[in-house]
Amino acid sequence: MDDAEVLRIRNDFPVLAQEINGSPLVYLDSGATSQNPLSVLEAEQEFYEQRNAAVHRGAHHLAVEATDVFEDARQTLADFIGARYEETVWTSNATEGLNLVAQSLATAGLWAERGRGDARLSELAVGPGDEIVVTEMEHHANLIPWQELAFRTGAVLRYIPINDDGSLQMDTAAAVIGPRTRVVAFTHASNVLGTINPVIDLVALARAVGALVVLDACQSAPHMALDVKALDVDFAVFSGHKMLGPTGVGVLYGKRELLDVLPPFLTGGSMITTVTMERAEFLAAPQRFEAGTQRVSQAVALAAGANYLSETGLDRIHRWETKLGQRMVAGLQDIPGIRVLGPAAGSERIGLAAFDVAGVHAHDVGQFLDSRGIAVRVGHHCAQPLHRRLGLTATTRASAYLYNTTSDVDMFLDAVAGVRSYFRV
């Protein structure tokens, strides 16, 4: 990819054509929410105009068509991450997917204790003295559900610390992940540091002690080719709104042999085989975890987003974003008074950069950039423990995507260079 191709790509994104405060919009907040191409907008609109009906519940023509496109979308997302159809569960977002896994593991012990469900449940149950391992760089969505699982079951939550450069302390990881570890949950790529974690090495440590692996792929699935089978993770989650799709839809991947055994997270509706006044029996995955009316139009639109990324080429996108990210970090490091978090320029990272401006609060930095039409994220980025570890309460984060040009990065850097003088620091 090059700037000429990216400029053509930008024509597919109507929102990028506008001006903000008299300046062309430079959107560098895709790490929070990406923009939508016309094909995604049209896919959702076309569903409502032509096929709107409840899925899996009607025998009329519209219901059959709605069910078909809904399940076709599931297959598209399964193919997108190298999974099987029945291993791909629709959720509202990645946070729901992580809560689903944590809550199901919490219930597994109760089911095993009372002789309900598959005999293998006892192997998945988390109980007193067991350990759950996360990392110090986790988004709250991949921390709080495990805190709650530990609280409910009497397990112990442990974490792998980071080095000052934003990398994991892998020597410590080998000591933290031990014989009592039942779950290892970690982010593929940090939404603050830009660090790409060594998934294969972490999976190997977990496999050596028989622990389950849960991967937060929110910052990787939209930006690089993801093969959950090759990575050998047990579960993975990502959100649609970060990969060109709409809000309100996400995906949980889980190995079939695990999903079919775990207790459901939400119950009711058509996720059952038989219901009496005393009890219910549940379907196999993925319907086992999809209670109630589903997010049908959103799933269809997300499939359109996945197709857009696949047709553009995830490897090409990743290389382009890496180039932008390196340009961003190198430029920030050259500005006096700027502290960039995570790996230095030249080290592997995804296409984002969080930074601190000496003497200027992140929210003031964000407002200054917004006055020049540059959209960035400010705050703790749902990673308070990580910021605390780095001695900060908030940072400014710029994150690039396939529709950003080198000119976007240069305008951003030029604006950041003027922040401290503007605030007379």
What pLDDT digit, counting tens, does each position of 345-370 carry?
A: 999 999 999 999 999 999 999 999 99
Least Cα distance to 127 among 102, 109, 147 occurs for 109
pLDDT, tens digit, for every residue of 9-46?
999 999 999 999 999 999 999 999 999 999 999 999 99
Give the percent of the chain with pLDDT over 90: 97
Top CATH class, 3-30+314-422: alpha beta
User: What would the two tokens of residue 376 be?
Assistant: 């960035």
pTM above 0.95, yes or no: yes
Q: Average of pLDDT values for 310-331?
A: 98
Neighbouring residues of 113: CB distance < 8 A, sequence distance ≥ 6: 125
| pLDDT at residue 296 tops 90 | yes
The structural architecture, per CATH, of the domain 45-310 is 3-Layer(aba) Sandwich (3.40)
pLDDT band at 270 (very low <50, low <70, confident <90, very high): confident
User: What would the two tokens of residue 275 be?
Assistant: 């219901």
pLDDT band at 338 (very low <50, low <70, confident <90, very high): very high
Residues linked to residue 135 through DSSP beta bridges, in sequence order: 160
Task: Report which secondary-structure segment, H or E, holds 215.
Answer: strand 212-216
Q: Average of pLDDT values for 205-226?
A: 98
Do 243 and 403 meet the contact criterion of CB atoms below 8 Å apart? no
Range list for CATH 3.40.640.10 in the chain: 45-310
Q: Average of pLDDT values for 400-425?
A: 97
Do 30 and 376 meet the contact criterion of CB atoms below 8 Å apart? no
Residues annotated as part of the active site: 382
pLDDT of amino acid 120: 87
Range list for CATH 3.90.1150.10 in the chain: 3-30+314-422
- Tokens 């690039």 correspond to 400
Give CA–CA dist 316/405, Å, rounded.
Answer: 14
